[in-house]
Amino acid sequence: MAAAAAKFALLIALMAGLGALAWRYNVPLDVLREKMAGVWPLLRYPAYVGLFTLVSIAPVPARDVVKLTGAFLFGGVVSGFLVFTGEMCATAVSWVMGRALGKDFIDRLLAGRLQSMQDKIAGATWWQIALLRVFPGTPYRFFNYAAPVTDVRPWPLFLGCAAGTLPRTMFFQVLFGAVGEKLTRRGTTTFEVFAISILFAAGALGFWWIWSRLRKKTDSGGIQKP
């Protein structure tokens, strides 16, 4: 248990270090755009993917700011593919970190508890994971943190993440490309983008909760007693 706890502590320290590094990019939209525009053109795409990967792994509220920056630097479609690449890189890096440093501790901590839930997670298919990723209310970052410390199989996870992430990412990047310049001229700040993203996620979750409740009532009302 001591070795598992030590590895988990190392994981927390690593996340804190990445957070400290990523925080320097948690700046207003126009400032981040100037930073990215100053990168040598041949390195601009990989630099953007690397930056998005970093802020997707580190616990800082900069993801949506970087998405918007990409949209009005590269356009909606091109930035969509760049963000998608960064999302998959973040999934892979989080997987390696979580499996190597976190899973052993979580397994020992649970020690057989919640076994039925763990069995379901272990048997998850790529299609089920894709549905979770395409759903607008799913927080990608926390999904990436949680997946590697479960018994989910890697190939269904990565295939499902790719299938679900691409359409959702393209939709929002095209949308950001249409409104990003207006937000910049307005002087939109990092905190405002972060607050809007939280409200959007909460609204999406509320919508699906209401929809599931209505569906259950409809299903139960359609059952006829003999």
* AA letter at 52: F
Does the pLDDT at position 7 exceed 90?
no
> Which residues are CB-contacts of 184 (< 8 A; sequence separation ≥ 6)?
29, 30, 33, 72
Report yes or no on 88 lying in a domain.
Answer: yes
* AA letter at 17: G
pLDDT, one tens digit per residue, over 174-226 is: 988 887 666 666 655 555 555 555 555 555 556 555 766 676 677 665 544 44
Q: 75: pLDDT confidence band, cut at 50, 70 and 90?
A: confident
Report yes or no on 192 lying in a domain.
Answer: yes
Report yes or no on 115 lying in a domain.
Answer: yes
Report yes or no on 27 lying in a domain.
Answer: yes
Mean pLDDT of the chain, nearest integer: 78
Report yes or no on 169 lying in a domain.
Answer: yes
Q: Both tokens of residue 191? A: 């905190």
Residue 102 has a pLDDT of 77
Cα 208 to Cα 222: distance, rounded to the nearest angstrom: 21
Distances (CA, A) of 207 to 15, 136, 138, 217, 219: 32, 11, 13, 16, 18
What domain range is 195 assigned to? 2-221
Report yes or no on 18 lying in a domain.
Answer: yes
Residue 226 has a pLDDT of 44
Percentage of the chain modeled with pLDDT above 70: 72
Report yes or no on 226 lying in a domain.
Answer: no
Residue 151 has a pLDDT of 86
Positive or negative: CA dihedral 127, 49, 101, 19: negative
The burial of 216, by beta-carbon neighbours within 10 Å (0-12 exposed, 13-18 middle, 19 or more buried), is given as: exposed
Number of domains in the chain: 1
Report yes or no on 84 lying in a domain.
Answer: yes
Residue 213 has a pLDDT of 67
Q: 164: pLDDT confidence band, cut at 50, 70 and 90?
A: very high
Does the pLDDT at position 88 exceed 90?
yes
What is the chain's alpha carbon radius of gyration, rounded to the nearest angstrom? Answer: 20
